Amino acid sequence: MKRKPKKGDKPFSKFYKKKPIKVNFDEPSYYPADKEEKSPKKKKGPKQDFEEEMSSDRKKKPVDRRKVNPKTLGPKFKKKVIVPKTHEAPVEENMRLNKYIAHAGICSRRKATEHIEKGAVKVNDVVVTEMGYKVKKDDVVKFQDNVVQPTRNHVYILLNKPKNVITTLQDENGRRTVLDFVSDLTTERIYPVGRLDRNTTGLLLLTNDGVFAQKLSHPSFGVSKIYKAKLDKALHPQDLEKIRNTLQLEDGPAPVDAIEYGDNNKTIGIEVHIGRNRIVRRIFEHLGYEVMKLDRVRYASLTKKNIPIGKCRFLTKQEIIILKHLA
CATH classification at residue 289: 3.30.2350.10
Intra-chain end-to-end CA distance of the chain, in Å: 82
Does any domain span residue 133? Answer: yes
Q: Looking at the structure, tell me whether residues 191 and 317 fall in a common domain.
A: yes
Least confident interval from 3-17, 86-100, 295-309, 312-326: 3-17
Whether residue 21 has pLDDT greater than 70: no
Look up the domain containing 243 and give its range: 224-299
Q: What is the pLDDT of residue 242?
A: 94
CB 202 within 8 A of CB 297: yes
Whether residue 116 has pLDDT greater than 90: no
Percent with pLDDT over 90 in the chain = 30
Does any domain span residue 137? Answer: yes
pLDDT in tens, 287-307: 999 999 999 999 998 999 889
Q: What is the pLDDT of residue 216?
A: 84
Picking from 101, 124, 147, the residue at the C-terminal end of a domain is 147
Q: What is the pLDDT of residue 49?
A: 54
State how far the Cα of 34 lies from the Cα of 186, in Å rounded to an integer. 64
Q: Looking at the structure, tell me whether residues 315 and 201 fall in a common domain.
A: yes
- Our answer to whether residue 197 is catalytic in this structure is yes
Of residues 17 and 107, more confidence is placed in: 107
| Count: domains in the chain | 3
Q: Give φ, ψ of 218 to 5 degrees.
A: -75, 130
Q: Looking at the structure, tell me whether residues 277 and 245 fall in a common domain.
A: yes
Select which of 197, 232, 251, 257 is catalytic.
197
Of residues 13 and 107, more confidence is placed in: 107
Q: Looking at the structure, tell me whether residues 160 and 212 fall in a common domain.
A: yes
> 312 pLDDT band (50/70/90 cuts)?
very high
Domain of 127: which CATH number?
Answer: 3.10.290.10
Picking from 95, 130, 147, the residue at the C-terminal end of a domain is 147
Domain of 318: which CATH number?
Answer: 3.30.70.580
State how far the Cα of 127 lies from the Cα of 95, in Å rounded to an integer. 17
State how far the Cα of 257 lies from the Cα of 270, in Å rounded to an integer. 8
Q: Looking at the structure, tell me whether residues 183 and 310 fall in a common domain.
A: yes
Does any domain span residue 26? Answer: no
Of residues 141 and 73, more confidence is placed in: 141
Q: Looking at the structure, tell me whether residues 174 and 308 fall in a common domain.
A: yes
Q: Hey, is 148 helix, strand or coil?
A: coil
The overall average pLDDT reported for the chain is: 77
> 10 pLDDT band (50/70/90 cuts)?
low
Does any domain span residue 108? Answer: yes
Picking from 95, 128, 147, the residue at the C-terminal end of a domain is 147
Q: Looking at the structure, tell me whether residues 230 and 214 fall in a common domain.
A: no
Does any domain span residue 238? Answer: yes
Least confident interval from 79-93, 165-179, 184-198: 79-93
Of residues 205 and 71, more confidence is placed in: 205
Q: Looking at the structure, tell me whether residues 93 and 237 fall in a common domain.
A: no
Whether residue 200 has pLDDT greater than 70: yes
pLDDT in tens, 250-289: 989 999 999 999 888 899 999 998 888 899 999 999 999 9
What does the DSSP assignment read for 205-229? EEES-HHHHHHHHSGGG---EEEEE
Does any domain span residue 34? Answer: no
Q: What is the pLDDT of residue 83?
A: 45
Q: Looking at the structure, tell me whether residues 233 and 261 fall in a common domain.
A: yes
Of residues 105 and 52, more confidence is placed in: 105
Residue 106 region, left (φ>0) first, then alpha (ψ -120 to 50), else beta?
A: alpha
> 79 pLDDT band (50/70/90 cuts)?
very low
